[in-house]
């Protein structure tokens, strides 16, 4: 499996299928890809904020990809003409050889509604994605929570994609504790440096994680990839 970091919390997993997660490209100052560069089979959306929904609608329309997320968000996007499949926390389902399980994430989920009010799109989520014999955990936007230990116990995680930006999600200290709980083989940090409010030193985080846990960390620049 090839994992390409799109910037922010966006990833493109390619192998026997092509899985796109949280494709925030347009308006992302660090993104190297354009929406037309991506032709996924599946699009996974962790929650409804604009920096995660991103370009999902246009990519889904051009590629015909199935959009997967919590039920409320799937209904919202389905009403906008997209092909969707709704799930909820703890549920799993296989899509042509790709198994997706929704995990908890402590965050919010909404899009702008009428008159400036927010339209609630259900519970935010993370994902356990299994494809080609590999298991990837995308934490979504979340704070640290103790049940990450259950995720690590229930799933042999090859790669954990963890936010480190702080303010809206875990910062580096809590992300280090998340690594202790999850015990993945590899960590890739995400959700940092897109905006000044979430600036972090990912290489310093990597050195701390490896030094204190022995778990490898791969810091990817937007547009870069790693094979697992």
Report yes or no on whether pTM surpasses 0.95: yes
Q: How far apart are CA 182 and CA 126, in angstroms?
A: 13
What's the whole-number mean pLDDT along residues 84-104? Answer: 97
The number of CA neighbours under 13 Å toward the Cβ of 172 is 17
Q: How far apart are CA 99 and CA 113, in angstroms?
A: 33
Mean pLDDT, the chain, rounded, equals 96
Dump pLDDT digits (tens) for 48-60: 998 999 999 999 9
Q: How far apart are CA 87 and CA 82, in angstroms?
A: 15
Dump pLDDT digits (tens) for 117-141: 788 888 999 999 999 999 999 999 9
């Amino acid at each position: 499996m090839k994992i390409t970091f799109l910037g922010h919390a966006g990833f493109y997993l390619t192998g026997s299928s092509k899985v796109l997660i949280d494709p925030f490209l347009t308006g992302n100052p660090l993104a190297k890809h354009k929406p037309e560069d991506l032709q996924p089979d599946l699009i996974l959306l962790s929650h409804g904020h604009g920096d995660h929904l991103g370009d999902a609608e246009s990519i889904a329309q051009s590629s015909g990809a199935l959009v997967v997320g919590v039920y409320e968000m799937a209904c919202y996007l389905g009403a906008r003409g997209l092909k969707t499949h709704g799930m909820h926390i703890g549920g799993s389902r296989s899509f042509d050889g790709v198994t997706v399980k929704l995990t908890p994430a402590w965050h919010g989920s909404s899009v702008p509604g009428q008159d400036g009010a927010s339209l609630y799109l259900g519970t935010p989520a993370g994902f356990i994605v299994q494809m080609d014999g590999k298991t990837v955990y995308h934490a979504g936007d979340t704070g640290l929570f103790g049940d990450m230990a259950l995720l690590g116990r229930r799933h042999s995680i090859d790669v954990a994609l963890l936010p480190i930006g702080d303010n809206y999600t875990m910062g580096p200290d809590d992300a280090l504790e998340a690594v202790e709980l999850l015990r993945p083989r590899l960590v890739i940090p995400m959700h940092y440096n897109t905006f000044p409010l979430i600036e972090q030193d990912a290489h310093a985080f990597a050195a701390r994680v490896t030094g204190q846990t022995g778990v490898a960390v791969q810091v990817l620049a937007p547009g870069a990839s790693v094979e697992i």
